[in-house]
Structure 1
Amino acid sequence: MHIPPYHKKTTWQRFLVGTFVGAVIAYFIFVYMHGSMYGQLLEENRDLKSEVTELKNQNEALLEDNENLDEQSKAPIKVETIEITITNEEDLPDRLIIHDLEELMKEEIEHIIGKDVSIISESDGLLTATIENKKFTVDDFEFQFSVKKLYLTKTVKISVEANMAD
């Protein structure tokens, strides 16, 4: 039996070269797709690992809080955060000033963080006077505030009205 010499014909040579080039291109496309998919899977794996670690830490903290619940229920409530809202934000010359003013006021009264709410409630007039009697300067503008609402809980919430100081 005789094998015909197809390798000498140019049409067969073109076919075989085309098949080889196509296989090489297909291989590179496969490697690229596999690499990008593997990269996405690695990124997702890292995200999930960090989320699992975060959830484990949160679970441990919650279990620890649960164990200390009796001690915390006997302990007095302490101030944890301060929230300041300016009621007349639209009257201020610039929206960026609002954040600076809130931060300046928080710095002025940050000493109350960690104190008992009962102690702060006894001296709420002093807290109000501290805010109202101080002039806050931001970008060559001086502001004075008048306290409209004051809520004393774990989060001290203060609503103030801003006025341009003379």
Structure 2
Amino acid sequence: MRIPPYYRQPSWQRFFAGALIGGVISWMVFLFMFGVLQEEQTSLIKEQQKTINDLEVDISHWQEDFKELNKENSKLLTIQDIKLEIVNAKEYRINDSLSVFQAEEEIKSDLSPLLAKDLDSVYKNKDLVKKTIENKILKINDKRYKVKIKEIYFYTVIQIILELEYDG
């Protein structure tokens, strides 16, 4: 088999030359369009990266400010409530909850000046709070009891767990 002699006919020569020139021109147009689109995409990515970096810096500044504000606010906490609990009332046969409630309220009334005070200052004076409670003698059902602090928790709500001792 042999190749047909198209290279001798000028019409075929023009066709192949046109196809070759058209292929080169279309390749050049493709490269130009692809380059322009890639350049646009690259500039868009650079702008987005710059925006992301700026936002990350802003976020870090906001987070630092937020942490500082939280620290300042935690320093400014105040006492909102006082909760008392007498745990060993059953040992002394104090069965009526009214007597226990009245004893708790009597101690709460002594601690009422602590409400709306700064948590830090109350904590610094915790020994005074303990002495105020422990020097209290309660009269329940015609018997006298001393109060001992078993546990005390300081936060916006002061929680105090108390024990009674017979004061004979």
TM range (shorter): 0.5 to 0.7
Gap regions ≥5 residues in structure 1: 1-68
Shift of 1:134: 1.5
Partner of residue 19, structure 1: none
Q: 1:98-140: CA deviations, max 9, x gaps? A: 1111101101111100101100100101101110011122342
Does residue 151 of structure 1 match 2:160?
Answer: no
What is the TM-score when the length of structure 1 is the normalising length? 0.53
The structure-2 alpha-carbon separation of the partners of 1:90 and 1:138, relative to structure 1 and needing over 3 Å to count, comes to: closer
Higher radius of gyration, 1 or 2: 2
RMSD (Å) for aligned C-alpha atoms: 2.1
Gap regions ≥5 residues in structure 2: 1-68
Tell me how far apart the structure 2 counterparts of residues 100 and 81 of structure 1 sit (CA, whole Å).
17
Query: Which of 114, 137, 140 lines up with 2:139 in the alignment?
Result: 137
Q: Would you say how many aligned residue pairs link Structure 1 and Structure 2?
A: 97
Tell me how far apart the structure 2 counterparts of residues 87 and 141 of structure 1 sit (CA, whole Å).
18
Q: Equivalent residue of 1:90, what SS?
A: coil
Q: Equivalent residue of 1:79, what SS?
A: coil
Percent identity of equivalent pairs: 22
Tell me how far apart the structure 2 counterparts of residues 89 and 143 of structure 1 sit (CA, whole Å).
10
| 4+ long deviations beyond 6 Å | none
CA contact (8 A) 2:114 2:122 kept: yes
Shift of 1:89: 2.4
Q: How does 1:14-163 map to 2 (within 5 A)?
A: 73=73, 76-92=76-92, 93-95=94-96, 96-163=98-165
